[in-house]
Amino acid sequence: MGNNTSRRALVVGLGATASAFGAAALMSATTAPTARADAFTDIINAVDAEFTAGQTEFTAAFAEFASNHVGAGMGLFFSGFDDDALGAPSTFLTGSIEALMNDPVLGGPTFSVGDPGNFATALSDAQSAITLGQSEFATALTDLGSGNLVGAISENTSGLFFADYAPAELLFMAAVDSLGL
């Protein structure tokens, strides 16, 4: 009889424990904040804003090309490309990390290059961009070391733009300008 009593107590105890965990799970589910859904919407809106900015720059670039302003058109075209190819993915990644850390979703950086007009200005601007890119990479490492993942991703993306994309774009625009188009 003692054996049945201890088994019955064990079953009742397990049932009570399972019920308590079930009730706690239900209470947690009913009182959970809706921040995740809002953060996802914010991420999508921020990425959409990057694509919209890129599309606006593409439209302006084609208007400049149609007006035979090739240098200005190239600057706007590259800015649109940078927003679509670099800004939107960076915004998605940064926004996702912000959402996971329960931070507000702020969106990513916007990239822009202007027509340098000649090779001397393009070389000077390209060297400045490379130096700035190296500084951004160093800041990204510092942010990563201190646990600031959002800052590290943002700084790394900015470093990529300034060290890799902007110099090539500036020099390409200077080459187009030298053709007299």
Q: How far apart are CA 136 and CA 55, in angstroms?
A: 27
The amino acid sitting at 175 is A
Question: Using one digit for the tens of pLDDT, what is the confidence trace for 102-143?
Answer: 888 877 777 888 889 889 999 999 999 999 999 999 999 999
Question: Using one digit for the tens of pLDDT, what is the confidence trace for 8-50?
Answer: 544 444 444 444 444 444 444 444 444 456 888 889 999 999 9
Residues whose CB is less than 8 angstroms from the CB of residue 9 and which lie 6 or more positions away in sequence, other chains included: none
Q: How far apart are CA 131 and CA 58, in angstroms?
A: 28
Q: How far apart are CA 107 and CA 95, in angstroms?
A: 6
